[in-house]
Amino acid sequence: MSDNNELLNKIFDKVEKIDDKVDAIDITTARQQIILDEHIKRTEILETRTEKIFEELKPIKLHVNMVHSSFKMIAWVVALVSAIIGILSFFHKI
């Protein structure tokens, strides 16, 4: 009987240790959930701000594209005028 009681006490001690570990895991999980919730909140705020910034940058991007197109057009006009002047000066020498 003594052996049975000793065995039951050992089993009970092991169960208590497992229960303590499970409680520690529950506490850790709860802390991690709080940290995760804060992270999700900050991420949503940053995503909203990023979307606003992209919306504010759209007109600037359009302007930059327009300026690039204007520079390309000016370059083509300069090239065309240079070609015409070159051709005319060639024929004037002949």
Q: What is the pLDDT of residue 44?
A: 98
- In this prediction the pTM is 0.55
For the stretch 23-76, pLDDT in tens is 999 999 999 999 999 999 999 999 999 999 999 999 999 999 999 999 999 999
Q: What is the pLDDT of residue 4?
A: 82
Reported as a pLDDT band with limits 50, 70 and 90, residue 93 is confident
pLDDT of residue 78 exceeding 70: yes
How far, in Å, CA of 91 to CA of 87, rounded? 6
